[in-house]
Amino acid sequence: MKRDDNEKSVSALKTTLKNALIVSCQPVPGGAMDDSPYVVGFALAALSAGAVGVRVESARYVAAVRAATDAPIIGLIKRDLDDSPVRITPFLDDVTALAEAGADIIAFDATDRVRPLTVEALAKAVRDAGKLSMADCSCVEDARHALATGVDFVGTTMSGYTGGPEPVDPDIDLVTSLRELTPDVIAEGRIRTIEQAQAAARAGASCVVVGSAITRTEHVTAWFRDALAEVYAPAPTVLAVDLGGTKTMAALVQAGEVIDSVVFPTDRNNSCEGWLASIVEAAEPWKGRYNAVGIAVTGAVRDGYWRAMNKATLGIQGEFPLEARAVDLLGFPVVVANDAQAAAWGEFKATDDRSDLVFMTVSTGLGGGIVSDGRLLRGISGHFGQMRGQTIENLPIESRICGPWIAAEAKRLGHECEPKDVFSAADGGQEWAVSIIEAVACRFARLCCDIQLAIDPARIVIGGGVGLATGFLDRVRAEISALSPSATPELWAATLGPKAGIIGIADLALSDRK
Ligand code: ADP
Ligand code: BMX
């Protein structure tokens, strides 16, 4: 094709696709619709109802659709590579195959990741084949780079698929940002509703691609099935409480998600009856919305009774019949547990990893929990903060690691402030603060190494206000490598962050229910 003709056909295609709906006809791989007659059927049905173009995967399906229509086809080939996360049209041969099959536009992954071929090389190959190119981008930088290589369209296709949890909603903000770079923006990815398609158009998309919501029967069926299940068999809602030495969190938890929550300081001068009363008061607005109750508390919990291991963490007097009193006050069966053991269970359930784990909270006190062979160990197991091996005086190790020690030590050095201020000062390089945090990190690192020797868990998960403070884990890891222990613990930050205890006790409230 001569250059002028090519420019004419590029602008003609851009005009055709302007303000249009494109339907992506990609069956679920291996599913009942994964065959040419279905793909062609979906494409012709969509076009007959006003879609202007279709997006089709594989040279085989592009050829089949091309034989049935002259409408614009965006072609792509998906591959699962061993050495690259890039899936969409990674190779030059793919470009050639799609061009030969009759695609008008060839889409390829334009993300900045390990890839077999550069975006430049693919853009050039598409151009050389006399076709238009669509760069499937995950962010503005991808699009800027792709446009510099001369691509014809940029799409939002890859947004949310390059790491981290997959979002539910389409990335309309990315459409807005890409529109500042070029008018040739194709909105694509997770557009499931009419309102979302309109939002993409309003954000400036030149055209909008809708896929699963129109052509993946399996997905649409599952959306309806799940929505109906919520009505026909709602997941039980749990009133979950995590009472620590500094703060108390109460929440409503459904299917492992916190749907409402409140956090308030634990009144350290109160009594067990008083703490329980504050929980009942916090839960009052949720009356009628929950059908199970779980309460996790700092301190030892055995047979429904609650007592302190260390009264400095919270001054629980004697043995308190926590379960029985909570049942009296709330009028529900109640499951009670130690806070750190509940958090250990929450973290175990939060991932698919079924290997043994130890959880430790570095907070007002230092608590812990052990999950071994898929079972949460109960009793006083995991109370690592009570160990005395490393201490000089006859005090538990937690009295020289946690928030109260950090604050007391800062005060001793002439800086009356909160532990989080000590962390900020340490970050800013102030020596008095660095010395405190390093001392804590060093003691905690030794404790982690000892636990590795005693239990040999696949991972030690860390939570708590101090444990999750910025930079703390890195310092502990550095201390561990300086110790060069005979067995190196693998440290993780709690996946559920400060909600580990709440989500864990919510699950125990259902699984331990008598
Ligand atoms: P609890 O002990 O009640 O479960 P936390 O896990 O929040 O509560 O731990 C409380 C301790 O952690 C307190 O000593 C508090 O000062 C400290 N802390 C809380 N947030 C931070 C932070 N961002 N950085 C450092 N320390 C913190
Ligand atoms: C203490 C002990 C543990 C608790 C841990 C963390 C008491 C009152 N508590 O070691 O039972 O798990 O603190 O509790 O003896 P937090 O209050 O710091 O979250």
The answer to whether position 510 is within a domain reads no
Q: How far is the CA of 268 from the centre of ligand 2 (A)?
A: 13
Q: Is the pLDDT of residue 2 over 60?
A: no
Q: Are 241 and 492 in contact (CB under 8 A)?
A: no
What CATH number is attached to the domain comprising 370? 3.30.420.40
Q: Which ligand is nearest to the CA of 248?
A: 1
The pLDDT of residue 1 is 47
Q: Is the pLDDT of residue 209 over 50?
A: yes
Element (H, E) at 6: helix 3-17
Number of folded domains that form the chain:
3
pLDDT digits (tens, 9 = 90+) for 495-512: 999 999 999 999 999 998
Same domain, 63 and 119: yes
Q: Which atom of ligand 2 is nearest to the CA of 368?
A: 12
Local structure of 393: helix, strand or coil: coil
Q: How far is the CA of 365 from the centre of ligand 2 (A)?
A: 5
The identity of residue 147, as a single letter, is: L
Distance of alpha carbon 76 from alpha carbon 85, whole angstroms: 16
Q: Are 508 and 294 in contact (CB under 8 A)?
A: yes
Domain boundary among 296, 322, 341: 341
Q: Is the pLDDT of residue 4 over 60?
A: no
Q: In 67-171, where does DSSP find H-type helix?
A: 92-101, 119-128, 140-148
Q: How far is the CA of 113 from the centre of ligand 1 (A)?
A: 38
The answer to whether position 135 is within a domain reads yes
Cα dihedral sign for 180, 184, 188, 191? positive
Strands 237-243 and 247-254: antiparallel
pLDDT digits (tens, 9 = 90+) for 275-294: 999 999 999 999 999 999 99
Q: Which atom of ligand 2 is nearest to the CA of 398?
A: 10
Tokens coding 155: 């799409």
SS3 content of the chain, % helix, strand, coil (to 5): 40, 20, 40
Same domain, 356 and 415: yes
The pLDDT of residue 392 is 67
The pLDDT of residue 176 is 98
- Picking from 47, 101, 49, 50, the residue whose alpha carbon sits closest to that of residue 69 is 47
pLDDT digits (tens, 9 = 90+) for 424-453: 999 999 999 999 999 999 999 999 999 999
Q: Is the distance from the beta carbon of residue 363 to the nearest atom of ligand 2 less than 6 Å?
A: yes
The pLDDT of residue 37 is 98
Residue 389's pLDDT band (boundaries 50, 70, 90)?
Answer: confident
Q: Which ligand is nearest to the CA of 433?
A: 1
| For ligand 2, atom 8: residue with the closest CA | 299
What is the average pLDDT across 324-332? 96
Estimate the crossing angle of helix 403-412 against helix 419-427, to 10 degrees.
70
The answer to whether position 63 is within a domain reads yes
Q: Percent of the chain, pLDDT > 70?
A: 97
Q: Is the pLDDT of residue 466 over 70?
A: yes
Q: Which atom of ligand 1 is nearest to the CA of 404?
A: 14
Q: Which domain holds residue 431?
A: 352-494
Q: List, as one string, the DSSP characters of 245-293.
A: SSEEEEEEEETTEEEEEEEEE--TT--HHHHHHHHHHHHGGGTTS-SEE
Distance of alpha carbon 157 from alpha carbon 159, whole angstroms: 6
- The best mutation among 264, 362, 364 to test binding of ligand 1, ranked by most ligand atoms within 8 Å of the C-beta, falls on 364
| Alpha carbons within 13 A on the beta-carbon side of 102 | 16
Domain boundary among 174, 202, 224: 224
Three-class DSSP labels, 349-370: HHCCCCCCEEEEEECCCEEEEE
Q: Is the distance from the beta carbon of residue 463 to the nearest atom of ligand 1 less than 6 Å?
A: no
The pLDDT of residue 6 is 64
Q: Which atom of ligand 2 is nearest to the CA of 314?
A: 8
What is the average pLDDT across 209-217? 98
Same domain, 410 and 457: yes
Q: Is the distance from the beta carbon of residue 177 to the nearest atom of ligand 2 less than 6 Å?
A: no
Q: Is the distance from the beta carbon of residue 385 to the nearest atom of ligand 2 less than 6 Å?
A: yes
Q: Which ligand is nearest to the CA of 463?
A: 1
Same domain, 36 and 83: yes
The answer to whether position 264 is within a domain reads yes
Cα dihedral sign for 284, 290, 293, 296? negative
- Picking from 432, 431, 492, the residue whose alpha carbon sits closest to that of residue 458 is 492
Q: Which ligand is nearest to the CA of 410?
A: 1
Q: Are 471 and 423 in contact (CB under 8 A)?
A: yes
Q: Is the distance from the beta carbon of residue 296 to the nearest atom of ligand 2 less than 6 Å?
A: no
Cα dihedral sign for 498, 276, 341, 254? negative
Beta bridge partners of 357: 371, 459
Same domain, 303 and 365: no
pLDDT digits (tens, 9 = 90+) for 224-265: 998 998 889 888 999 999 999 999 999 999 999 999 999 999
- The best mutation among 243, 278, 362, 418 to test binding of ligand 1, ranked by most ligand atoms within 8 Å of the C-beta, falls on 418
Q: Is the pLDDT of residue 164 over 80?
A: no
Q: Which atom of ligand 1 is nearest to the CA of 364?
A: 2
Q: Between residues 1 and 25, which one has the greater pLDDT?
A: 25
pLDDT digits (tens, 9 = 90+) for 292-317: 999 999 999 999 999 999 999 999 99
Same domain, 368 and 473: yes
Residue 166's pLDDT band (boundaries 50, 70, 90)?
Answer: confident
Distance of alpha carbon 413 from alpha carbon 288, whole angstroms: 51
Strands 459-463 and 491-493: parallel
- Picking from 460, 447, 452, 461, the residue whose alpha carbon sits closest to that of residue 497 is 461
